[in-house]
Amino acid sequence: MRARRVGVVGGGTMGAGIAAECLRAGLDVRIVGSGPASADRARTRVLGLLDRAQAKGRIDDARRADAEGRAVFGADPDALADRDFVIEAVTEDRETKLRLFTALGKTVEDPEAVLASTTSSFAVADLAAATDRRGYVIGLHFFNPVPTMPLVEVIRSAYTTDRTAARAEELITEVLGKEIVRAEDRCGFVVNALLIPYLMAAVRMYESGVATAEDIDRGMTLGCGHPMGPLAVLDLIGLDVIADVARSMEDGTGDPRHAVPPLLDRLIGEGRLGRKTGHGFHRYDTVRAAS
């Protein structure tokens, strides 16, 4: 049963990107923010992403107009009652996600609707256990920026049914046209289990004065063939976002490689969050919309 009516909870950078991709693919999408102001910001982000897709030739004028017509923005979770596929994209906070999945289990009327989380570090089984429909919960870890990043990690918990996994993979590959990797339900899955220690090591190297931010990034792009250096990656995703993920992974694993260096906390405290504020480890001429 292919997903047709999609709900996205959270209209920040990740949620807006997911919503825009679902709209571009022809789905009926409802985006629910935490309040009216959040819903308005989500509308601005999603329509901006559709404009960008149109400018790049990914959708034509008619499809752009049609996509906007299929988008509904609001702050009432009850609007998700008729959805057959709901994707959670709220802040990476365990208690927030648990409360949301408990609520979704009661709000979404279709007993076979898929409830997916974009968590990058929490156990999907824990989120599933917060609902009365454990077999229909799955992890779908998208990457930022969603419209251009081709990968999604698919994480089955011990409860996830084969049918749920098949429907989720169909949405990602056949509808959205992205690639998948399947990961076990463990802290950090595949990508972040490798990425977070690498990023924290780069911050510690810069913090200790071994090299400048520019040279650390040049070393990894020109020396290792990475498309972006680690400090530029931090700036792109957001220093605050990465710090939250690192902390949750340290809590979940006890691995000191995930510990947030003091410098990272200091930059966050100064409001230097990366591209979205115009200054992180590097400076930027344009400021991205805050998540």
Residue spans of the domains in the chain: they are 5-183, 192-277
- Has 144 been annotated as catalytic? no
Instruction: Decide if domain 5-183 falls under CATH 3.40.50.620.
Output: no
Alpha helices in the chain (DSSP H): 13-24, 36-55, 61-69, 94-107, 124-129, 162-170, 191-207, 213-224, 230-237, 239-253, 262-269
pLDDT at 75 over 80: yes
Banded pLDDT at 290 (limits 50, 70, 90): very low
pLDDT mean over 65-83:
96
> Catalytic residue among 92, 121, 141, 157, which?
141
CA distances from residue 120 to 133, 154, 187, 196, 260 in whole angstroms, order as listed: 21, 11, 8, 11, 16
User: pLDDT tens, 245-271?
Assistant: 999 899 989 999 999 999 999 999 999
**Per-residue pLDDT tens over the stretch 79-116:** 999 999 999 999 888 899 999 999 999 999 999 999 99
- Distance CA(167)–CA(260), nearest Å, equals 37
The mean pLDDT of the chain is 95
The arithmetic mean of pLDDT across residues 37-52, rounded, is 96
Quick check: do 5-183 and 192-277 share a fold?
Answer: no
Work out the burial of residue 95: count CB atoms within 10 Å of its CB; fewer than 13 is exposed, 13-18 middle, 19 or more buried: exposed
H or E segment to which residue 139 belongs: strand 137-142
Q: Is 40 exposed, middle or buried (0-12, 13-18, 19+ CB in 10 A)?
A: middle
Query: Pick the catalytic residue: 121, 157, 192, 248?
Result: 192
Question: Is 120 one of the catalytic residues?
Answer: yes
Q: What is the pLDDT of residue 287?
A: 66
Q: What local confidence, expressed as pLDDT, does residue 286 receive? A: 72
- Tell me what pLDDT residue 220 has: 98
Q: Does 291 have pLDDT greater than 50? A: no
**Structure confidence at residue 288 as a pLDDT band (50, 70, 90):** low
Q: Identify the pLDDT of residue 2.
A: 87
Query: What mean pLDDT is predicted for residues 233-252?
Result: 92
Q: What pLDDT is recorded for position 283?
A: 96
The catalytic residue among 121, 153, 157, 248 is 153
Q: What is the CA radius of gyration of the chain?
A: 19
Catalytic residue among 120, 121, 157, 248: 120
Homologous superfamily of the 192-277 domain (CATH): N-(1-d-carboxylethyl)-l-norvaline Dehydrogenase; domain 2 (1.10.1040.10)
pTM of the model: 0.89
Query: Is it the case that residue 142 has pLDDT exceeding 80?
Result: yes
